[in-house]
Structure 1
Amino acid sequence: MTPVVLFRASRGRRQRGVVLLFCLIVLVILLIGGVAVMRSTHTSLASAGNLAFRRDLASQGEQAASNVLTAFKSGVLKTATLSAASIPSANYSAVELTANDQGIPLVLLSSSSSPSGTDFAGSTFSPTASDLAGATSDIAIRYVIDRLCRAAGTASTSTCVYAPSSSNVTGGSSQLPASQRPASTISPVYRLSVRVTGARSTQVFLQTSFTRPE
């Protein structure tokens, strides 16, 4: 009887060892899952924070649009004659500025306090207006305005991107009679490009195009 009892006790200890091994495996799996959930939570929180920060910078960048609107309504760009030539002090170029593949003028990508770039005609353009202040001291708003024309002077259908009047939008303009072609005085398209720089050199770029009756 004694050998049989010893045999059964040894078998029981072996079974308890297998259960312990499975428990350890399950604990490791749970630990890995917990770490993954924590990392996912931290990533989500970081993404939400970055999105909120980006939206805040974009909202502050609207100050540039307000300044430009004032300039075109009652300021240095209020008439077609005034906007026929570049005005560096207003960050305005009468000729389309060279841009990167995303359409952002290269002069706006410069980190220098005295940026300089070129326009489509190959001339140098150096905006001199100071950056706009953001809500906090670590936020700066820089912008440039360029007229989408290939030459300075009076806007024309041959040198500018323009918005024709509704009476002229009939298609096939090259085949239309002279009386139905766009008038010589047109409403050129202007482009406003804004760069908002925030904490840790974070940058947000905004861009819009607009026209005005002229």
Structure 2
Amino acid sequence: MAGMALTRRSSRRQRGLSLLFALMAMVVIALASVALVRSVDTSSLVIGNLGFKQDATAASGQMTEQALVWLQNNAGPTLQQNMANVGYYAASMDAVDLTGANRANAARAQVLWNGGNCPAGSTCLQASPVQTFGGNQARYIITRLCATAGSPAAVNCAVPPGSAAMPGGNRGAADYNNQTMQLLVNNSVYYRVVVRVQGPRGTVAFTETIVQL
């Protein structure tokens, strides 16, 4: 009888230890599952954000194409003056904060990318009317790389390679702040197209394209 009682106690202890180890294993598996779910959620979030960013960049390319078509359709004297209602400016607008990164600097003008009114005490430029590409809202602003508005032959503009300039100017240099340089032979100039795209989840993308026309 003593031997049987000892055997029963030993079996109970073994079952108790087995249950304890089983519970510990379940806790470890549960914690590992939570960590795996969090890892999957983080990966999905990163992939989703990259997808939105790629969509915004693709929409920016489409909007840039529209801006280039607009430039080609209005080539000539029309581009010598500002057309703020469509987001075109015949000067380089170097003091403009195109991306809104320096809002604290009151000396720099801003672009009304989201429309609306200009804040009090600020100088603002209008962007083009909004276009939608698959849930992405895009606008552009075009600036001619000249010091001021007017004919390229009369104002200081960036000179394309191979253009003739006055003696003392920088032949072929894209320096439209050089006061001695005037375009004499080739009337083509550079234009800068900046596109801003705002997509789902607050995704914002900027692209800049320099073209010669």
Q: Is the TM-score greater than 0.5?
A: yes
Aligned-residue RMSD, C-alpha: 3.9
Deviation at 1:24, TM superposition (A): 1.1
Partner SS, residue 208 of structure 1: strand
Partner of 2:81: 85
Partner of 1:33: 32
Deviation at 1:46, TM superposition (A): 3.4
Partner of 1:134: 133
Matched, 1:184 2:185: no
Contact 2:92–2:146, Cα closer than 8 Å, also in 1: yes
Structure 1 distance, partners of 2:51, 2:133, is 16
Query: Quick check: which one's strand share is greater?
Result: 2
Return the letter of the residue paired with 2:198: T
With over 3 angstroms needed to count, the CA separation of the structure-2 counterparts of 1:212 and 1:112, relative to structure 1, is closer
Matched, 1:112 2:115: yes
Partner of 1:95: 92
Structure 2 distance, partners of 1:36, 1:25, is 17
Partner SS, residue 107 of structure 1: strand
Contact 1:147–1:191, Cα closer than 8 Å, also in 2: yes
With over 3 angstroms needed to count, the CA separation of the structure-2 counterparts of 1:44 and 1:65, relative to structure 1, is same
With over 3 angstroms needed to count, the CA separation of the structure-2 counterparts of 1:135 and 1:181, relative to structure 1, is closer
Q: TM-score, normalised by structure 1?
A: 0.66
Deviation at 1:29, TM superposition (A): 1.0
Return the letter of the residue paired with 2:203: Q
With over 3 angstroms needed to count, the CA separation of the structure-2 counterparts of 1:72 and 1:112, relative to structure 1, is closer
Partner SS, residue 211 of structure 1: strand
Deviation at 1:74, TM superposition (A): 2.2
Partner of 1:195: 196
Matched, 1:56 2:19: no
Contact 2:113–2:126, Cα closer than 8 Å, also in 1: no
Structure 2 distance, partners of 1:69, 1:159, is 23
Partner of 1:174: none
Structure 2 distance, partners of 1:179, 1:198, is 45
Match of 2:143 among 143, 146, 168: 146
Structure 1: gaps spanning 5 or more residues: 169-176
Cα deviation 1:143-166 (Å, max 9, x = unaligned)? 11123445444569x966x46516
Partner of 1:206: 206
Structure 2 distance, partners of 1:128, 1:38, is 44
- Equivalenced residue count is 192
With over 3 angstroms needed to count, the CA separation of the structure-2 counterparts of 1:109 and 1:42, relative to structure 1, is farther
Deviation at 1:108, TM superposition (A): 3.9
Structure 1 distance, partners of 2:169, 2:130, is 46
Q: TM-score, normalised by structure 2?
A: 0.67
Deviation at 1:91, TM superposition (A): 0.3
